[in-house]
Amino acid sequence: MKARHWVFWEFPRGSRPYDVVVLLILAFIFCTPRDWFKDQPRPRQVTEMPAEGGARVLFVEADLIDADLPEEQQMRQAERLLSHMTGKPGRLQRLKPVVDDEGSLKGWMAYVKP
């Protein structure tokens, strides 16, 4: 068979060459090591929201700040985290929990003064 057939996959469905190409594709997908493509678990998120009243507003995922700590320690933890993750200096003004309708914590809104 010509290379053109393999490159452009010009085989009738159900034929042996078609099945071989499908198996090669599946083997590549499932047997390729993750580190070949630098595929890593999704990093925890800090997302910048539209500014509000002169302060930067950031949404911080729930598990990045310990909800069981006293408020003062949460503020310190959030301030260190935000300066490390954003690389921008700023003083944390307020940290507000974001909860869903059932009362479970979804994240934090962090208000940072530039």
Q: Domain limits of the chain?
A: 3-36, 46-113
* pLDDT tens, residue by residue, 63-113: 888 989 999 999 888 888 888 877 776 788 889 999 999 989 999 999 888
Distance CA 95, CA 98 (A): 10
Residue 106 φ then ψ, to 5°: -105, -25
Q: Please classify residue 31 by burial: count the beta carbons closer than 10 Å to its beta carbon, then call 0-12 exposed, 13-18 middle and 19+ buried.
A: exposed
Q: Token digits for 49?
A: 């929201």
pTM assigned to the model: 0.57
Which residue stretches of the chain are H helix?
A: 3-8, 16-31, 71-86
* pLDDT tens, residue by residue, 15-37: 998 999 899 999 999 998 877 87
| Element at 59 (helix H, strand E) | strand 55-61
